Amino acid sequence: MEPSYIFLTMAVTLLSMPATGFGQGTTRVGFYSKTCPRAESIVKSTVESHFRSNPAIAPGLLRMHFHDCFVNGCDGSVLIDGPNTERKAVQNSLLRGFDVIDEAKAKLEAACPGVVSCADILALAARDSVVLTKGINWKVPTGRRDGKVSLRSEAANLPGFTDSIESQKQQFARFGLNTQDLVTLVGGHTIGTAACLVFNYRLNNFTNGGPDPTINPSFLPQLRSLCPQNGNNFRRVDLDTGSANKFDTSFFTNLKNGRGVLESDQKLWTDASTRTFVQQFLGEKGVRKLNFGKEFAKSMVKMSNIGVKTGSNSEIRRVCSAIN
């Protein structure tokens, strides 16, 4: 899929609505057009620079945006450093890209001090990451403010890699995201990797000493060779085998073929309530076809409006990683 700049009709509708979840703020496209006209281009060039030397930064930034939004809303709280912050939670221990956001923020502070929020930088960087991996482009609504609170304990609310589909649906529903949004946003795993430690339990001792039966037997030797017992638990493995650096639908093809790396991902195919959406993204006969790129853009706009902060419970941080 080649990048194409699309302003989606649904996105227009969403931009005129209050942010979903528990926030009361609103966002709009072009929020910085007068106060910091180069804001988006500065973020884009910074992400591009890091991507050229390390393509893994793209899925890292996309994942960081998810993790930010699912804890107290999209308020940049995951960026705050300190011993008891979200950033130090085990669920966020493998996040990458903090240096990219800090660099973009430093450039923005030089260009227009105290104007652009860290939360908006992260939302823009996530979009730019998708584009750099040959995915769709979309207009990101901005105008978020940064939250003042970041608590390590609250990261426990993030979806986990062993969660059932029912649990995942409930977690997404808390923020106004439906089952289609769930499947679509998890589809972001079309780029990126996972450490062996988050799935190697599926390979040998899942049930009665054997592997997870939902893993295709022909795929099992490959995973075992990458993550042998007593091997390096931090070795990174592609979440979308054969297409980890391109934003496309092959991730869903792999799920259909029993080649999902994470247990929670593979359940998107084994559970009937989510399988239909996977089939729609794959354009299978007998189901209404959905365009993954366009639907991903819609769901990202929807998700990025979770819990937008306003007023005294928010600020525009001068340093995104400011110690809390």
Q: Among the residues of 115-262, which ranges form H helices?
A: 118-132, 165-173, 179-186, 220-226, 250-256
73 is in an annotated binding site: yes
Q: Report d(CA 6, CA 18) in Å as an integer.
A: 22
291 to 58, 189, 276, 298, 305: CA distances (angstroms) = 22, 16, 14, 11, 22
217 is in an annotated binding site: no
93 is in an annotated binding site: no
248 is in an annotated binding site: yes
189 is in an annotated binding site: yes
99 is in an annotated binding site: no
65 is in an annotated binding site: no
81 is in an annotated binding site: no
- Catalytic site includes residue 67: yes
Catalytic choice (44, 50, 65, 67):
67
Query: What DSSP assignment string belongs to 44-76?
Result: HHHHHHHHHH-TTHHHHHHHHHHHHHTTTSSSS
Give the single-character DSSP code of 19. Answer: P
Q: Report d(CA 100, CA 303) in Å as an integer.
A: 22
221 is in an annotated binding site: no
Sequence ranges of the binding site for heme b: 189
| Residues recognised as catalytic | 67
Sequence ranges of the binding site for substrate: 159
Sequence ranges of the binding site: 68, 71, 73, 75, 77, 86, 159, 189-190, 240, 248
Sequence ranges of the binding site for Ca(2+): 68, 71, 73, 75, 77, 86, 190, 240, 248
